[in-house]
Amino acid sequence: MACDLILALDVPTREAAAPILRQLRGELRWIKIGLQMFTAHGPDYVREVAGLGFNIFLDLKLHDIPNTVAKAVESLSVLPIQMLTLHTAGGGEMMRAARAAQQKHKPDLLLLGVTVLTSMDSAGLNEIGVSAASADQVARLGKLAASSGLRGLVCSPLEVAMLRQQLPADMQLITPGIRLASEAGTDDQKRVMTPAAAARAGSTYIVVGRPILQAPNPAAAARAILGELSHP
């Protein structure tokens, strides 16, 4: 299974993003717009980036009562987005409601269930009353998402191989927590992997932010990562 690259556009302003997007047009297909940019600039910014020719992964991690999440999916369905996240911790009823709204209003939208944030480990889960190890919690939530009709998950690359053994073969696995082999630290991410290793494990997409955004030449950095993915 081929693995593709998504840029996490985690920058403070659209002015900071503009030169990066100009450089990356034609170099990669996917841009992830998260809470920072969406809350700052709103739906029109999603349309603006899509208008540059990028596919949009809207990462809002919806988590509320089932009806509210379903209505949010309905509202967002008018936007030119191809992926949208929600928290699997919201439960099966919430995910089924979201799935029903997606099927009705935007059948080609891929809903992605977020399992355990890559900033969390087993100790962090214990703080919120989850006694299971992070991998076990990911497996539990991943199976719940699949049984609720979701066809994509966001997870750590460290759990991809395990999920490939336990979930339907067509489940798309999107993995943040990617760091280049040359990077000394992992910042706030705790469960990380290199691009090539994530591709070998079975990731469908990897999400990369800082290694591209902070590179002297973002386009060259993206090309290098895509080259690594094509020969993992």
Read off the tokens for 79. Answer: 């936007």
Read off the tokens for 197. Answer: 């290793």
On the CB side of 102, CA atoms within 13 Å amount to 23
Instruction: Respond yes or no: is residue 190 known to be catalytic.
Output: no
CA distances from 212 to 7, 40, 72, 140, 144 (A): 8, 22, 31, 33, 34
The catalytically annotated residue of 32, 61, 104, 190 is: 61
Catalogue the active-site residues. 61
